[in-house]
Amino acid sequence: MTRLSVNINKVATLRNARGENNPDVVAFALHCEKVGAQGITVHPRPDERHIRRSDVAALKQAISTEFNMEGYPSEDFLALVEANRPAQATLVPDRPDQLTSSSGWDITANSHFLRGIVERLHKSGIRVSIFIAADPEQVRAAREIGADRVELYTKPYADLYPTDPARAIAPFIEASAEAKKIGIGMNAGHDLSLENLEYFHARMPHLQEVSIGHALISDALYLGIDETIRRYLNCLK
């Protein structure tokens, strides 16, 4: 079964709107685990507009499932990762002011930089995933620099799915086959939802983890977080 990691950034955004501790992101993460989520993801940004540095430390101490930290590998981010040692660090090519991830790495063009980051994080015993487009060439490049996994950027799939699901999934199936062939793990995330997740998962037999935040938290406004997580887990059976 593919693991569900709940990205709780949007919970922190809601909390920060009032400057207090309601909702409590740690309590929310623990509740997600209780309902059945198999991981918690955070994407701290330099301006702390949602997840704060203090949240990272508190979550690391509290949660019992897999902890995944996403971010651009600046020195500040890497120091935060090394200080808290999550199970997985997912490297994304975001600008500091970017609202959300919008593309994957060109690993070939950044191979020297990324190879050094992978080696550095491996010294702390941290699994490294690289955020990429569904491109077999990028999958191979990730393996060559020593990454443990890739995370496929799924917004192109989500955008095309309503009108042509078979064409939407095709490049992801190809990337998945390449990942299996060369022995690198595979995650996926961005704009996966209750509408498109079951179809995606059914055609991606080597998928190890999905990280879902915005759609899941939005669904919870209508369904409640318990029912929402149950429905996402059902999509991954």
Q: Which is nearest to 165 in space by CA: 201, 190, 131, 219?
A: 201
Q: Which is nearest to 71 in space by CA: 103, 46, 108?
A: 46
Angle at 73 between CA 106 and CA 154, to 5 degrees: 50
The catalytic residue positions are: 43, 70, 190
Instruction: Look at residue 67 and give its three-state secondary structure.
Output: strand
- Angle subtended by helix axes 9-16 and 214-223, to nearest 10: 70
d(CA 40, CA 86): 10
Angle at 102 between CA 97 and CA 105, to 5 degrees: 100
CA dihedral in degrees (105, 109, 114, 115; nearest 10)?
Answer: 130
Instruction: Look at residue 154 and give its three-state secondary structure.
Output: coil
